[in-house]
Structure 1
Amino acid sequence: MPKETFMLVSLKEDKAKKLAQAMSSTTCRKILDFLANKEATETEISEKLNIPISTVHYNLSQLKESKLVETEEFHYSKKGKEVLHYKLANKYIIIAPKENDSHIMDALKNLIPVAIIMGVGTAVWKYFAERVGISGVAENTVLKVAAPAIDTAVEVGQAVPEMARIAYDTSVNNVIPIVQSTPAWKYFVFGAVVGIALYFAVDLIRRSMKD
């Protein structure tokens, strides 16, 4: 099973409370900052940060329970005891408001992987454009291609909840002025923004029609 790169938390869940407690702890934040550079054992963290081992153990337990750190590797001590290696979980954390229902939570779960894929695609396209020396795409051509998507976004935005409509208005209004003076590879980014907005709204409409 592929490893999830994000953590979606609802304010209704106990997980949100545990996450807030961990992030509000000064010791937890120090440990996270230390682990940002390299993985370490409890003893190493205690020695480097000059924190009692018992305090380190307690805070690491909180961080692990909140899924902010993880232990994928370990080694055995001279006494044969298993010693865990702690490292950052490296996950994006998204906190959803209480009023968000399961439909929006599901939509976000589907949306985030798409955004990650588009980000990777953007990097690949930029590399290709720089290597081959692709010149800027003609302004009129880009606007002709973008126009149908923008029109569709506006139409769909009128049929979805206020949150989705605001997302559409923001993304579309930002795309139009920038597109006229941007290098070719960045058109992929703007197309991705519009595409994500369209995906989000259409998915919400599809789910609302099923209910």
Structure 2
Amino acid sequence: MAEDKFLLISMDDERTKSLADVLGNKTCKKIIEFLSETNQASQKDLADELKAPINTIDYNIKKLLKSGFVQKRKNFFWSKKGKKIVMYELTNKSIIISPKTSVGKKIKSILPSFILLFAGTIAIWVYEKIKSAENETVDYIIKSSALSETLNSDSGIPFTNINPDPIWLWFLSGGLLVLFIFSVINWRKL
């Protein structure tokens, strides 16, 4: 499984506070800067280089680990006293802080409009089918009766049924256009 190269954090996430603490802390910034130059270091190396107490380095390393800026390396060393010395490195990830509303939430806010649009379109389509069936029935009755012959002979113009453009298609295309314009204008507000 490939490791993600970015860390996406929402403004609602708990880690946002720890990120703000890390970015506002001078010692954390110095640790990040030192690790970017040396690629790896132990807490003792950081304390010696930054001229800070080891407990301050330990506290700040824990904050950096929690926020995701730093990670423990897999390799480690043993001290002369037999203690395990952990090496730290910067994570190879970009950290992205996203706003509270995501694209999914924006689409969910527009979804009821699409549902109403398609329901209205279906209702108009059904209405047109019913009217068309009624017109076909009336035309059949007129054509089958002798009345149609007298109507045609009196007016001099042949009786023809003209089918208008489907209204449902115009309703659907107009509704989609309005929703598109509304979405483009209000994309940042949603």
Give the gaps of 5 or more residues in structure 1: 105-154, 167-211
Shift of 1:100: 2.4
Q: Report the Cα distance in structure 1 between the residues aligned to 2:10 and 2:28, rounded to whole angstroms.
A: 22
Match of 2:27 in 1: 27
Match of 1:12 in 2: 12
Match of 1:68 in 2: 69
The alignment partner of 1:37 has SS state of: helix
Match of 2:49 in 1: 48
Shift of 1:163: 9.0
Q: Report the Cα distance in structure 1 between the residues aligned to 2:90 and 2:5, rounded to whole angstroms.
A: 12
Shift of 1:20: 0.8
* Residues 54 and 163 of structure 1: CA distance in aligned 2, closer, same or farther (over 3 Å): farther
* Residues 82 and 15 of structure 1: CA distance in aligned 2, closer, same or farther (over 3 Å): same
* TM-score, length of structure 1 as denominator length: 0.49
Q: Report the Cα distance in structure 2 between the residues aligned to 1:5 and 1:28, rounded to whole angstroms.
A: 22
Shift of 1:90: 2.1
Q: Report the Cα distance in structure 1 between the residues aligned to 2:80 and 2:183, rounded to whole angstroms.
A: 61
The Cα offsets for residues 61-83 of structure 1, whole Å up to 9 and x where unpaired, read as 00001010001221111222111
Give the gaps of 5 or more residues in structure 2: 107-176
Paired letter, 1:54: N
Q: Which 4+ residue blocks in structure 1 deviate beyond 6 angstroms?
A: 163-166
* Residues 31 and 22 of structure 1: CA distance in aligned 2, closer, same or farther (over 3 Å): same
Q: Report the number of matched residues.
A: 115
Shift of 1:95: 0.7
The sequence identity of aligned pairs, in percent, is 33
Shift of 1:10: 0.5
* Residues 9 and 56 of structure 1: CA distance in aligned 2, closer, same or farther (over 3 Å): same
Match of 1:37 in 2: 37
* TM-score, length of structure 2 as denominator length: 0.54
Match of 2:3 in 1: 3
